[in-house]
């Protein structure tokens, strides 16, 4: 399952971020393989908003399609 398939309110775990450049940017934002984050919003045909602790990050839909996740809770 990819991040683009997550729903609002899902608690997710990042499984893999395949692109090294994207992985490096995500790590700077506290998002890495094994991190547990909340999908706080999903805009129609737009970005997925993630909440990591007290920080919110918008991830573009194309990028979200390349990040593999597991849903821990709905």
Q: In the chain, which stretches have pLDDT less than 50? A: none
Helix (H) or strand (E) segment spanning residue 64: helix 61-64
What is the per-residue pLDDT for 3? Answer: 93
Rounded to whole angstroms, the Cα distance separating 68 from 23 reads 12
Rounded to whole angstroms, the Cα distance separating 7 from 18 reads 22
Nearest CA to 41 among 55, 28, 31, 56?
56
Nearest CA to 7 among 68, 49, 36?
49
pTM: 0.87
Mean pLDDT of the chain: 92
What is the per-residue pLDDT for 39? Answer: 96
Q: Domains of the chain (ranges plus CATH)?
A: 3-73 (2.30.30.90)
């Amino acid at each position: 399952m990819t991040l683009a398939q997550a729903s609002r309110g899902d608690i997710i775990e990042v499984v893999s971020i395949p692109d090294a450049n994207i992985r490096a940017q995500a790590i700077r934002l506290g998002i890495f393989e094994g991190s547990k984050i909340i999908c706080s919003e999903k805009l129609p045909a737009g970005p997925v908003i993630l909440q990591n602790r007290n920080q919110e990050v918008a991830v573009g839909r194309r990028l979200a399609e390349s990040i593999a996740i597991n849903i821990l809770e709905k």
